[in-house]
């Protein structure tokens, strides 16, 4: 009997202490004070009291941003009246909203848990959804003002939080409009990139590519972000997605091909070429990558043949013209130096060199200001065929 009495007394004391803890938390005058009290008492609080405690932090966080919210509200009215806006602290307001939202999530977690009687009776979700939905709309103004002020950290934070909260459980019973989500995600991606937060930039990519107006910019930003992170696999993944969506845009294709070349990943490039041949069997870019693979394998005759098919499929494919010229010259060199041909080597090589000259003259027409692409190769080819005057002309351009 005595043991039971002691246990009952201990339970009463603990219950009294818990009641005192939650009362102290709810009476806290500042965010820091309430946060400290919660930290010291959380282990002993009931789920219902934890929900109350974190809801108090939501109250106090919003109170910290109240002054700047008032300015923002006045600025919206001023804009309608074509008056100049008053300055406000974007950092303070953004941090207040983010803090309120983070604590509302924790509050919601405990609010959805059974109480002492085993029943779930949420008390705060509806209230927090209402007041945070209003603040969520403020994020667009904060993000816009921060972006225009080149405060990309705050811009990324505001736009990003707007996107992140769209599927929040807090708003599960609200009817949020997601029509503008892709364009906001694009600006979250862009601001994150400008802020050198490349990981965050890639996080918003999948939503941003649904913004039809900025889809290609979204792709290029994500690709650049992955490239900055030296993440070759995801860099190629973004470019492959872009290539599949825009198969006729050679930029994405060539960036993808160059990523294999830069990494000296000839096996990866060969596999990619095989996939392209299956998906786009007669496309110019398919022949192009087949030519590149053959060139890497030092099969210059096959390479030239593939590049010619690429040019035939797309006569304006300038990269194919250049690569075909290079491969033809290399083919000529390989024939000229083929010891198995003996005295016949030069005779067999001459037509190939002449063909390379014709191709490099086209390269010269395409890129007249880029002498590094054609001056030395033309000097080399003219020298081999014995046209000393032309060889001297192009040799002078290499100096």
Cβ pair 265, 272 in contact under 8 A: no
pLDDT tens, 209-221?
Answer: 998 899 999 999 9
Reported as a pLDDT band with limits 50, 70 and 90, residue 7 is very low
Sequence-ordered list of residues with C-beta below 8 angstroms from that of 289, at least 6 positions apart, any chain: 253, 257, 269, 272, 273, 276
Is residue 274 predicted with pLDDT exceeding 70? Answer: yes
Give residue 19's pLDDT.
63
Tens digit of each residue's pLDDT (9 = 90 or more) over 320-363:
999 999 999 999 999 999 999 998 999 999 999 999 999 999 99
Q: Which residue has the higher pLDDT, 17 or 251?
A: 251
Quote the tokens at residue 89.
């602290």
Show contacts of 293-300: CB within 8 Å, 24+ apart.
Answer: 293/266, 293/269, 295/323, 295/326, 295/327, 295/330, 296/266, 296/269, 297/266, 298/334, 300/327, 300/328, 300/330, 300/331, 300/334
pLDDT single digits (tens) 73-115: 999 899 888 899 999 999 999 999 999 999 999 999 999 998 7
pLDDT in tens, 43-64: 999 999 999 999 999 999 999 9
| Integer Cα distance of 222 and 255 in angstroms | 13
Q: What are phi and psi of 230, to 5 degrees?
A: 55, 35
Give Cα 87 distance to the centre of its chain.
32
10 confidence band (pLDDT: 50, 70, 90): very low
Q: How far apart are CA 229 and CA 34, in angstroms?
A: 40
What pLDDT is recorded for position 18? Answer: 57
Give the pLDDT confidence of 228-241 residue by residue, as tens digits: 999 999 999 999 99
């Amino acid at each position: 009997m005595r043991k039971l009495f002691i246990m009952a007394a201990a339970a009463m004391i603990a219950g009294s202490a818990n009641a005192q803890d939650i009362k102290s938390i709810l009476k806290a005058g500042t965010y820091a004070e309430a946060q400290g009290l919660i930290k010291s008492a959380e282990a002993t609080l009931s789920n219902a009291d934890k929900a109350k405690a974190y809801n108090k932090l939501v109250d106090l966080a919003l109170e910290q941003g109240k002054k700047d919210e008032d300015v923002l509200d006045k600025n919206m009215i001023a804009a309608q009246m074509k008056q100049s806006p008053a300055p406000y602290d974007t950092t303070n307001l953004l941090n207040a909203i983010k803090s309120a939202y983070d604590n509302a999530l924790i509050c919601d977690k405990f609010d959805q848990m059974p109480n002492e009687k085993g029943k779930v009776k949420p008390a705060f979700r509806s209230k927090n959804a209402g007041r945070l939905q209003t603040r969520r709309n403020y994020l667009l103004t904060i993000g816009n003002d921060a972006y225009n002020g080149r405060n990309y950290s705050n811009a990324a934070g505001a736009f990003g939080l707007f996107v992140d909260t769209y599927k929040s459980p807090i708003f599960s019973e609200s009817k949020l409009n997601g029509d503008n989500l892709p364009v906001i995600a694009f600006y979250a991606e862009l601001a994150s990139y400008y802020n050198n937060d490349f990981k965050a930039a890639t996080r918003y990519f999948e939503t941003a590519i649904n913004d039809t107006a900025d889809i290609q910019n979204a792709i290029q930003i994500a690709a650049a972000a992955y490239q900055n992170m030296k993440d070759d696999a995801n860099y190629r993944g973004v470019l492959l997605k872009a290539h599949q969506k825009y198969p006729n845009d050679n930029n994405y294709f060539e960036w993808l091909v160059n990523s294999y070349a830069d990494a000296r990943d000839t096996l990866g490039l060969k596999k990619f070429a095989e996939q392209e041949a299956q998906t786009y069997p007669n496309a110019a870019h398919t022949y192009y990558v087949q030519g590149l693979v053959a060139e890497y394998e030092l099969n210059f005759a096959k390479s030239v043949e593939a590049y010619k098919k690429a040019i035939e499929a797309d006569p304006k494919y300038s990269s194919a013209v250049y690569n075909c010229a290079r491969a033809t010259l290399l083919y000529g060199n390989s024939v000229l130096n083929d010891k198995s041909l003996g005295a016949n080597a030069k005779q067999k090589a001459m037509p190939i060199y002449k063909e390379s000259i014709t191709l490099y003259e086209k390269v010269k027409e395409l890129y007249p200001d880029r002498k590094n692409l054609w001056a030395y190769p033309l000097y080399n080819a003219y020298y081999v065929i014995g046209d000393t005057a032309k060889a001297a002309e192009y040799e002078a351009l290499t100096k």
